[in-house]
């Protein structure tokens, strides 16, 4: 226990978090109209040069950077300058926001109505709001909310309006623009639209980055975007995308602003509006194209209870402090700053590390509801083959145990303090009654006959086993998405628990090797900061030792008697992923043909998995999640076990069967870690 002092700095129990205020309470007691029309006078950035949306556009069009790129494009393609300039104008036209207070007021009014019907409360940490207000005045601010729902960015703007803060401009995917009227409404509430992919289009990139930078540098408005790039369908944080983060940090690197404040915002939904939609999407029912009529159909969601939302505005992170000692800003001294340059190695790795840190900051301040723990327990119970479910009082006992464990791991758990646990459990279950069934005092997932809310009213006559499986999978994946909310709390200890489980001995070094292997394997799946293996290992050891589950000596890692329960829970948490990756490996070894393309991969692997599930060779239905399948392929590509053949049509996959095989065996604990490492080399 001598190591305790060293670790105490990181003790998650010591994390201090702000209190929440419910903003809907006031909305329920006073006029929405008056609220929507009230005087709005936010504080602004001290260095703000007041400008209208129009001036903003001309500032972008006249920037040195765009001039340079326009002429470069002209030289390369032989096009006339006017022609290219016109293209630039139209790109900008397509992209630019038209923030209008009247639209915002309209949203303020309608959203008040909608929110009050949908949610019990919307809770915000007001200290975070105060910090944000301070930050907005001092430096350009970038808001980085987590992304779990379409709701996110309307909610963000709604909150900022409520607290009389500067309204953000928001980077939104172009797919929204397809929704004719809504797209324009969003544009007028501050959204600007970017194409989903524009990899090679340097003109587009130049317009886009200059547009964002101009807004940022002039303090025109806080810039808001989603680090994860898209909504997470699994409620796990997605590995961050770096493009926009790079753009907003660039003015700091180049000395154009003194500092930039990055504000991670964690938005947690007690019940996600898109719950079953996401599950279906992950199962291969294609995502409905965003359309206005689709949104109206979604009206039926209005009649349900979605519990509460917690929004936590995190501590603003100064890019300057982050970059201190990591980025040598002198690298921009010798080339005019407006000439676009690929980010150097040190900048790239700095941005990458920062992005992970920020996503972790989002994760840490995500509020977890008791249901999240229940979902974890029910999933584990379901897999363990208990057909009749789990007794309610047993579930309550386990939940209380898990509550205490998660708190010790630093979870931001909102468990009502003065309510008996049994009541907490039953009220959580009733909010999610579409996912669970309670009969005769026993609780289980709502699989099978009832079909779940995914397909109500559909004729249920000729159901094939496959269809049956898929409809169960909808429930399981929905449930898993709640469990996933808590994954970040248990991830590091779970990796350690699995490492202990798979390692061939109790030797600390071997456990570490195994930990390191798993961590590396799963780094596309979970948020694991690059290069922090040792830190993560130490943190995991610390937490398990602290809770008495583990004894760590100089050489050995020993599971204590009372630690057994914890370790079983933790390994079970990670097990679906371990199994899933193994199945994907097996698929690649057994079924992948020479001509398998990236595009065909998901359908093919899905078919393979369904076959195994139906044959009972695989326990985890959630392996059907295309998210897991994609991540595992990405990991294999990263490790070089699978290669994409360039030039071939649609990216043919070339499988290194020996290596994939050995990775599979290592995941299954059949091969010691060392060998896998060698195989990788």
Partner 1 sequence: MLYISTKYQIIRKDFPFYLGKTAHGGLWVQIKNLPGHLPKESPSHVFLQEIMKWNGWGYSDSRFLFNKKGQAEFTGKRYIIIGMIIPGLKDWFECTFGASLQHKTPATPLLNSSAVQPPTLNEAFVEELKSTGIPFSQDAEDRVFRAHGHCLHEIFALREGKFGRVPDMVVWPNCHNDVVKIVELASKHNVCLIPYGGGTSVSSALECPPEETRSIVSLDTSQMNRILWVDEKNLTAHVEAGIVGQDLERLLNESGYCTGHEPDSMEFSSLGGWVATRASGMKKNIYGNIEDLVVHIKMVTPQGVIEKSCQGPRMSTGPDIHHFIMGSEGTLGVVTEVTMKIRPMPEYQKYGSVVFPNFEQGVACLREVARQRCAPASIRLMDNEQFKFGHALKPQVSSIFTSFLDGLKKFYITKFKGFDPNRLCVATLLFEGDREKVLQHEKQVYDIAAKFGGLAAGEDNGQRGYMLTFVIAYLRDLGMDYYVIGESFETSVPWDRVLDICRNVKARIVRECKERGVQFPPLSTCRVTQTYDAGACVYFYFAFNYRGLSDPVHVYEQVEHAAREEILANGGSLSHHHGVGKLRKEWMRETVSNVGMGMLKSVKDYVDPNNIFGNRNLL
Handedness of CA 399, 405, 406, 412 (dihedral sign): positive
Give 109 or 258: the residue with its C-beta nearer to partner 1: 258
Measured CA angle at 520 (ends 518, 521), to 5 deg: 60
Give 241 or 337: the residue with its C-beta nearer to partner 1: 337
Least distance to partner 1, CB of residue 160, Å: 26
Please select the residue that binds partner 1; options are 52, 71, 297, 329, rule is CB under 8 A.
329
Burial class (CB in 10 A: 0-12, 13-18, 19+), 296: exposed
> Taking the CA of residue 232 as centre, how many other CA atoms within 13 Å lie in the half-sphere pointing to its CB?
29
**Dist. CA 60–CA 85, nearest whole Å:** 12
Least distance to partner 1, CB of residue 236, Å: 37
**Dist. CA 242–CA 352, nearest whole Å:** 7
Stretch that binds partner 1, among 65-73, 250-258, 416-424, 585-593 (CB under 8 A): 250-258
Determine if 68 is a binding residue for partner 1 (CB under 8 A). Answer: no
**Dist. CA 187–CA 177, nearest whole Å:** 9
Beta bridge partners, 122, equal 309
Determine if 176 is a binding residue for partner 1 (CB under 8 A). Answer: no
Give 325 or 385: the residue with its C-beta nearer to partner 1: 325
CA 585 to chain centre: 25
Least distance to partner 1, CB of residue 220, Å: 16
Q: What is the DSSP string of 311-354?
A: EEE---EEHHHHHTTT--GGGGSSS-TTS--PPPHHHHHHHHHH
Please select the residue that binds partner 1; options are 333, 384, 505, 509, rule is CB under 8 A.
333
Give 79 or 337: the residue with its C-beta nearer to partner 1: 337
Beta bridge partners, 268, equal 310
Give 149 or 218: the residue with its C-beta nearer to partner 1: 218
Determine if 346 is a binding residue for partner 1 (CB under 8 A). Answer: no
Stretch that binds partner 1, among 326-334, 467-475, 547-555, 565-573 (CB under 8 A): 326-334
Judged by DSSP in three states, 568 sits in: helix
Determine if 337 is a binding residue for partner 1 (CB under 8 A). Answer: yes
Please select the residue that binds partner 1; options are 7, 176, 332, 401, rule is CB under 8 A.
332
Determine if 401 is a binding residue for partner 1 (CB under 8 A). Answer: no
Least distance to partner 1, CB of residue 329, Å: 4
Stretch that binds partner 1, among 51-59, 169-177, 195-203, 333-341 (CB under 8 A): 333-341
Give 40 or 332: the residue with its C-beta nearer to partner 1: 332
Least distance to partner 1, CB of residue 256, Å: 6
Give 54 or 255: the residue with its C-beta nearer to partner 1: 255
Please select the residue that binds partner 1; options are 14, 330, 462, 615, rule is CB under 8 A.
330
Judged by DSSP in three states, 49 sits in: coil
Nearest CA to 163 out of 2, 340, 35 is that of 35
Residues 351-390, one symbol each (x = binds partner 1 by CB under 8 A, - = not), give ----------------------------------------
Least distance to partner 1, CB of residue 133, Å: 19
Total count of residues recorded for the chain: 681
Stretch that binds partner 1, among 205-213, 254-262, 556-564, 599-607 (CB under 8 A): 254-262
Least distance to partner 1, CB of residue 627, Å: 41
Backbone angles phi, psi at 472, to 5 degrees: -65, -40
Least distance to partner 1, CB of residue 43, Å: 17
Handedness of CA 350, 352, 353, 358 (dihedral sign): positive
Backbone angles phi, psi at 653, to 5 degrees: -95, 130
Give 330 or 615: the residue with its C-beta nearer to partner 1: 330
The dihedral region occupied by 249, where left means phi > 0, alpha psi between -120 and 50, and beta the remainder, is alpha
**Dist. CA 126–CA 311, nearest whole Å:** 10
Determine if 336 is a binding residue for partner 1 (CB under 8 A). Answer: yes
Please select the residue that binds partner 1; options are 54, 255, 465, 531, rule is CB under 8 A.
255
Binding footprint of partner 1, residue count (CB under 8 A): 13
Give 258 or 401: the residue with its C-beta nearer to partner 1: 258
Determine if 258 is a binding residue for partner 1 (CB under 8 A). Answer: yes
Task: List C-alpha distances in Å: 481 to 266, 375, 538.
Answer: 16, 9, 28
Give 205 or 332: the residue with its C-beta nearer to partner 1: 332
Interface residues for partner 1 in 7-66 (CB under 8 A)? 47
What is the number of other CB atoms lying within 10 angstroms of the CB of residue 342? 7
> For tokens 């363990």, what's the residue?
384
Stretch that binds partner 1, among 221-229, 251-259, 470-478, 544-552 (CB under 8 A): 251-259
Residues 615-634, one symbol each (x = binds partner 1 by CB under 8 A, - = not), give --------------------
Structure token digits, residue 149: 């729902």
Residues 198-237, one symbol each (x = binds partner 1 by CB under 8 A, - = not), give ----------------------------------------
Nearest CA to 445 out of 628, 625, 622 is that of 622
Determine if 325 is a binding residue for partner 1 (CB under 8 A). Answer: no
Q: What is the DSSP string of 402-447?
A: HHHHHHHTT--B---TTS-HHHHHHHHHHHTTTTEEEETTEEEE--
Q: What per-residue string of b and e applies to 79-104 under the rule 16 or more CB within 10 Å gives b?
A: eeeeebbebbeebbeebbbebbeebb
Give 48 or 392: the residue with its C-beta nearer to partner 1: 48
Residues that bind partner 1 (CB under 8 A): 47, 254-256, 258-259, 328-330, 332-333, 336-337
């Amino acid at each position: 226990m001598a190591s305790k002092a060293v670790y105490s700095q990181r003790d998650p129990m010591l994390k201090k978090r702000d209190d929440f205020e419910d903003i809907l309470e006031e909305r329920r007691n006073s006029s929405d109209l008056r609220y929507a029309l009230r005087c709005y006078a936010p504080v602004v950035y001290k260095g703000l040069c007041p400008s209208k949306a129009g001036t903003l556009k001309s500032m972008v069009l006249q920037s040195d950077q765009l001039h340079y790129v326009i002429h470069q494009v002209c030289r390369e393609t032989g096009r006339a300058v006017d022609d290219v300039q016109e293209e630039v104008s139209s790109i900008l036209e397509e992209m630019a926001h038209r923030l209008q207070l009247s639209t915002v007021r309209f949203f303020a009014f309608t959203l008040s109505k909608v929110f009050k019907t949908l949610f019990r409360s919307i809770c915000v940490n007001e200290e975070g709001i105060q910090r944000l207000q301070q930050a907005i005045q001092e430096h350009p601010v970038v808001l980085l909310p987590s992304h779990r729902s379409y709701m996110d960015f309307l909610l963000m703007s709604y909150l900022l309006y409520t607290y009389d803060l500067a309204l953000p401009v928001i980077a939104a995917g172009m797919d929204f623009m397809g929704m004719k009227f809504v797209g324009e409404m969003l544009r007028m509430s501050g959204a600007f639209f970017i194409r989903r992919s524009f990899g090679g289009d340097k003109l587009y990139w130049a317009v886009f980055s200059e547009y964002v930078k101009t807004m940022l540098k002039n303090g025109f408005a806080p810039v808001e975007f989603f680090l994860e790039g898209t909504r997470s369908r699994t409620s796990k944080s997605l590995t961050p995308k770096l493009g926009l983060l790079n753009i907003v940090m660039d003015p700091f690197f180049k000395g154009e602003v003194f500092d930039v404040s990055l504000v991670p915002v964690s938005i947690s939904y007690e019940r996600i509006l898109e719950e079953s939609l996401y599950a279906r999407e992950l199962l291969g029912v294609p995502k409905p194209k965003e359309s206005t009529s689709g949104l109206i159909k979604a009206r039926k969601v209005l009649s349900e209870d979605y519990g509460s939302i917690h929004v936590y505005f995190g501590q603003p992170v100064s890019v300057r402090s982050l970059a201190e000692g990591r980025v040598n800003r002198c690298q921009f001294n010798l080339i005019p700053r407006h000439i676009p340059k690929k980010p150097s190695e040190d900048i790239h790795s700095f941005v990458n590390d920062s992005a992970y840190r920020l996503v972790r900051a989002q994760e840490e301040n995500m509020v977890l509801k008791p249901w999240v723990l229940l979902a974890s327990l029910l999933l584990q119970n379901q897999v363990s083959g208990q057909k009749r479910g789990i007794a309610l009082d047993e579930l309550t006992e386990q939940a209380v145990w898990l509550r205490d464990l998660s708190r010790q791991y630093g979870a931001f758990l909102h468990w009502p303090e003065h309510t008996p646990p049994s009541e907490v459990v039953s009220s959580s279950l009733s909010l999610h009654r579409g996912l669970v069934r309670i009969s005769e005092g026993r609780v289980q997932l709502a699989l099978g006959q009832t079909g779940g809310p995914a397909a109500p009213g559909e004729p249920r006559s000729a159901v094939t086993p496959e269809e049956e499986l898929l409809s169960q999978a909808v429930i399981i994946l929905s449930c898993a998405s709640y469990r996933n909310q808590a994954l970040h709390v248990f991830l590091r200890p779970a990796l350690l628990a699995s490492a202990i489980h798979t390692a061939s001995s109790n030797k600390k070094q071997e456990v570490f090797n195994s930990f390191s292997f798993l961590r590396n394997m799963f780094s596309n799946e979970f948020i694991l900061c690059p290069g922090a293996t040792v830190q993560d290992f130490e943190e995991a050891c610390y937490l398990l030792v602290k809770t008495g589950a583990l004894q760590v000596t100089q050489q050995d890692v020993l599971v204590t008697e009372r630690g057994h329960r914890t370790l079983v829970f933790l390994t079970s948490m990670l097990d679906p992923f371990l199994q899933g990756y193994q199945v994907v490996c097996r698929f690649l070894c057994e079924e992948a043909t020479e001509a398998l393309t990236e595009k065909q991969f998901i359908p093919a692997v899905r078919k393979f998995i369904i076959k195994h599930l139906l044959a009972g060779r695989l326990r985890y239905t959630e392996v059907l999640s295309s998210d897991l399948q994609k991540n595992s392929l990405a990991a294999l590509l990263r490790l070089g076990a699978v290669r994409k053949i360039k030039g071939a049509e649609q990216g043919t996959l070339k499988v290194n069967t020996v290596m994939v095989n050995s990775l599979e065996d290592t995941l299954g604990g059949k091969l010691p870690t060392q060998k896998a490492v060698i195989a990788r080399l």
